[in-house]
Structure formats: structure tokens, C-alpha cells
């Protein structure tokens, strides 16, 4: 069979890598792909928002399955258009993708269907939002309604920070139309975890829990990014907590969508806060997370093609249980200096030929090839993943590989997994 993967980041490289392991796959195409994906698949110079050309390519190359990586084409309705042409595609349609493309829709959906989340208010003008904050208790969380590449959420510790965040989103239009409305919600205390689940709108197959690190710098300092690293699994998510998440979040969400006559096929990604009162939803995404996918999929033993095909055909119950490799996985992002703000690209990447650890993988995010040379081409450049029996060992492997890779302006967080490692050290000591 032939498979088309849409996207160009580390998530898509990981998906291509995992799909290629299936004996059922003959050819893999990736649009547009990157410098690393090119070694595994045929990269096609079609942008992710060019739905017409993607459909024509899938038809011409007899693609049996298309997998959508990024959120933007899902929000724009690429799945709807593929379905109209009777093409098999894995991902939610435009209506279902509103769970991610509109935080207002998602919060109101959660309220209606009694899915645990933080109390919130919605504002359509900056004056109203700032006025609310003047009498509110801090900290507060200010969120842009629409898609903002993971950067549209700001925790404000006081009125000044809240005002700056609101004006940036609503007045200065830092995220374009995504900031036409904002949500202001109560700050939840606890630890964040990411739960990705594959669903066909009936059956739900949760993947292993992971924990992302959003801030740019060590100690969770600096601006929010698309993600600077992740690890998997998360010991904090005990079997009892996972059962709570399944019963009170995942299942009610799918049931609520069905009740609202919205069919959801794809990845339901719940960003959660584990509070003293139980898990609470921070946000929903409707696709594989990045960099969570880079941490989770290397531990998956099951054939990913079988799972995605079954979900796309709404026969996920026939796929059976997922099988997992024992141990831990840790992903560390190597980024360009200046990310997530202004950064330069086009720098040669050296040292990848020195990576010879079979329990380490380097997934490309922002890279391209030019006359045989591998160059930086984005803010997040590489995702280095290490596997081991435990998290400390997995991190050691990843950081050992990072020391062998060089490009101008490279930076990375040196404390991925620091919370759980600190807790384990305190428990021992």
C-alpha cells in the first residue's frame, strides 16, 4: 500500500519512520517533508494548505491512506475534501477539529458536557477583558481563541502582565485573527501531562502518557514554544488516574461529540493538569502532539498502519490492544538561537554521522538539503530521542548524542524531566 503523510516537522518524521516499519507499506510520500524525511520517503513539494494539489497527488499515486500531521489543514477542512473524493484519510473533519481550532468552542463544549476544566470567561474586546482582570484573583491564564502554534497561552501573575497579554493578542494582533476573542481562566496548580488517544468516534485507544516542556529555557523560564522536549511514560499517571481520565474525560468527550452529531476520527489529545481535585483539561488538540509523538511512538510495538487504517475505516475495535516496549523514552529539542521569536536559518548541521547508538533516534524538524548539505530551516531543528530502562538513562543517551551534533546558534534545555527526577531524588533522600 502507499501512504501520504502531510507535514514537515519532527512529528511527521517520526510518523514516517514508524509507518515505514510496517511490512504492508510499499511507498511513503511526505508533503512537503524535510531534510531527514527525505531519507525514508519521497518528499513532494506541496504545501500543507494546498488541499487541491494534495488530493490530486493522492489520487495520481494511488495513496491508500493519508495521515495529517499539523493542525492547520485539519482546521481548514482537508479531511472533508478527501472524503468527498472517497479517499481514506486519518484525522478529524472541520467540525470536529474545532476542539482545537477554537478554544472558546472547546471550553463551552466542556461546560455543556460536564468535562472537568478550569472556570473561564470569554471576551470579545480588550476593554472588557482588562476590566474583568481588575477585580480578579491572580494568577490568571490568558488564551487566544484560535490557532497560535502553541504560543497563544500566557500565565499572568498580575494585572500588568494580563494587560500586556490581552493587548498583544487583541489590539496588536500578534496571532492575527486567532486573538479576536480571548479566554481568561483560573490558574490550575499541579503537573501537566499529555494524553493522546486514537479514536474512530466509538472505540478509544489511549497511547502512553507523556509530559511536554513548553517554556524555552531551563526551569520553565522564558516564552512558550511549540515544545522543547518530552518524556514517556509518566509515572504520575497511575492506573487509577488513567482510569479517571478515561471515564471522566476521554469517554465523555467522544460521547459529547456524538450527541452533538460530530463524528471524531483521529487523535484526541488532551492536555491535562493533575490537580489535587483530579485531572482537569487545559486544552484539546486534534492531532499527534509535537514533541510528544517523538517520545511516544518509539515505544510502540504495534503496527501503526493497522491502527490508523482501522480508525479511518471506523473499525478500531478490530485493532485489538496496543503493545508497548518496556522502559522510558526522552526527547530533547535542539533549536535555533532566538526561537520562538526571531531566528536565522541556513546553517550547516554537522555530527549526525557520529550518532551510532541503536537506542537513539534523531528526528528532523526544521531542516532542508541544499546541494547535498543539510541546513537548518526552522526554529525547532532536531528532536533527539533516547531509550533506556529508566528515564535517567534515556535522558543520558539523548544528551550524549546532542553533544555530537553542531550547528551555529544551537540551544536546548538541559533539564527535560527535571520535575520527576527531583521528586524521585527527594523520595530516596
**How confident is the model at residue 356, as a pLDDT?**
86
For the domain 119-186, what is the CATH superfamily, name and number? ATP-grasp fold, A domain (3.30.1490.20)
**How confident is the model at residue 294, as a pLDDT?**
98
Domain ranges of the chain: 2-93, 119-186, 191-319, 328-428
**How many residues can be counted in the chain?**
429
Q: Which residue matches cell numbers 479531511? A: 79
What whole-number distance in Å separates Cα of residue 118 and Cα of residue 128? Answer: 20
Largest CA distance in the chain: 62
Question: Do 349 and 407 form a contact (C-beta atoms < 8 A)?
Answer: yes
Question: SS3 of 54, please?
Answer: helix
pLDDT means per 10 residues, the chain with 429 residues, are 98 98 97 97 97 98 98 97 98 97 96 97 95 94 88 91 95 91 95 97 97 95 93 96 97 97 97 97 97 98 97 95 97 97 97 91 97 96 97 96 97 93 75
Q: What are the residues whose beta carbons fall under 8 Å from the beta carbon of 133, sequence distance 6 or more?
A: 140, 156, 159, 162, 163, 166, 184
166 C-beta neighbours (distance < 10 Å), count: 27
**How confident is the model at residue 426, as a pLDDT?**
72
What CATH number labels 2-93?
Answer: 3.40.50.20
Question: SS3 of 60, please?
Answer: helix
**How confident is the model at residue 133, as a pLDDT?**
95
Domain 328-428 has CATH 3.30.70.100: no
What whole-number distance in Å separates Cα of residue 152 and Cα of residue 146? Answer: 8
Which fold would CATH assign to domain 191-319? D-amino Acid Aminotransferase; Chain A, domain 1 (3.30.470)
What whole-number distance in Å separates Cα of residue 128 and Cα of residue 183? Answer: 11
DSSP of 183-194, one letter per residue? EEEEPPPSEEEE
**How confident is the model at residue 429, as a pLDDT?**
65
What whole-number distance in Å separates Cα of residue 387 and Cα of residue 328? Answer: 6
pTM score: 0.95
Name the nearest CA neighbour of 175 among 222, 201, 142, 141: 142
> 387: exposed, middle or buried (C-beta count within 10 Å: 0-12, 13-18, 19+)?
buried
**How confident is the model at residue 130, as a pLDDT?**
95
Q: What are the residues whose beta carbons fall under 8 Å from the beta carbon of 291, sequence distance 6 or more?
A: 10, 11, 212, 226, 227, 228, 229, 230, 331, 333, 380, 383
Amino acid at each position: 500500500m502507499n501512504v501520504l503523510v502531510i507535514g514537515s516537522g519532527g512529528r511527521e518524521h517520526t510518523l514516517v519512520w514508524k509507518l515505514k516499519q510496517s511490512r504492508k507499506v510499499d511507498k511513503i510520500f511526505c508533503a512537503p517533508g524535510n531534510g531527514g524525511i527525505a531519507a525514508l520517503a519521497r518528499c513532494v513539494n506541496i504545501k500543507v494548505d494546498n488541499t487541491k494539489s494534495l488530493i490530486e497527488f493522492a489520487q495520481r499515486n494511488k495513496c491508500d491512506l493519508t495521515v495529517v500531521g499539523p493542525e492547520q489543514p485539519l482546521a481548514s477542512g482537508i479531511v472533508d475534501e478527501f472524503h468527498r473524493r472517497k479517499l481514506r484519510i486519518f484525522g478529524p473533519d472541520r467540525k470536529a477539529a474545532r476542539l482545537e481550532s477554537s478554544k472558546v468552542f472547546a471550553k463551552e463544549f466542556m461546560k455543556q458536557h460536564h468535562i472537568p476544566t478550569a472556570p473561564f470567561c470569554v471576551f470579545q474586546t480588550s476593554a472588557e477583558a482588562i476590566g474583568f482582570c481588575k477585580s480578579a484573583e491572580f494568577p490568571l491564564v490568558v488564551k487566544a481563541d484560535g490557532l497560535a502554534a502553541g504560543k497563544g497561552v500566557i500565565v499572568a501573575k498580575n494585572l500588568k502582565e494580563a494587560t500586556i497579554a490581552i493587548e498583544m493578542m487583541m489590539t496588536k494582533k500578534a496571532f492575527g485573527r486567532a486573538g479576536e476573542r480571548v479566554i481568561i481562566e483560573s490558574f490550575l496548580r499541579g503537573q501537566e501531562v499529555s494524553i493522546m488517544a486514537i479514536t474512530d468516534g466509538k472505540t478509544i485507544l489511549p497511547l502512553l502518557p507523556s509530559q511536554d516542556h513548553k517554556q524555552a529555557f531551563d526551569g520553565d523560564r522564558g516564552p512558550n514554544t511549540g515544545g522543547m522536549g518530552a518524556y514517556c511514560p509518566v509515572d504520575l499517571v497511575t492506573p487509577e488516574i488513567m482510569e479517571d481520565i478515561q471515564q471522566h474525560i476521554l469517554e465523555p468527550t467522544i460521547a459529547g461529540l456524538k450527541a452533538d452529531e460530530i463524528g471524531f476520527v483521529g487523535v484526541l489529545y488532551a492536555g491535562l493538569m493533575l490537580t489535587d481535585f483530579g485531572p482537569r483539561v487545559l486544552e484539546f488538540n486534534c492531532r499527534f502532539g509535537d514533541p510528544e509523538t517523538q517520545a511516544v511512538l518509539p515505544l510502540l510495538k504495534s503496527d501503526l498502519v493497522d491502527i490508523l487504517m482501522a480508525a479511518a475505516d471506523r473499525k478500531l475495535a478490530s485493532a485489538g490492544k496496543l503493545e508497548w516496549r518496556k522502559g522510558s523514552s526522552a526527547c530533547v529539542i535542539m533549536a535555533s538561537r532566538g526561537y520562538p521569536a526571531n531566528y536565522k536559518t541556513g546553517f550547516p548541521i554537522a555530527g549526525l554521522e557520529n550518532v551510532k547508538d541503536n537506542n537513539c533516534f534523531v528526528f528532523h524538524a526544521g531542516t532542508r538539503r541544499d546541494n547535498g548539505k543539510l541546513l537548518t530551516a526552522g526554529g525547532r531543528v532536531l528532536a533527539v530521542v533516547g531509550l533506556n530502562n529508566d528515564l535517567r538513562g534515556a535522558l543520558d543517551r539523548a544528551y550524549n548524542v546532542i553533544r555530537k551534533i553542531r550547528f551555529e546558534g544551537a540551544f536546548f534545555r538541559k533539564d527535560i524531566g527535571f520535575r520527576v527526577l527531583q521528586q524521585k531524588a527527594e523520595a530516596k533522600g
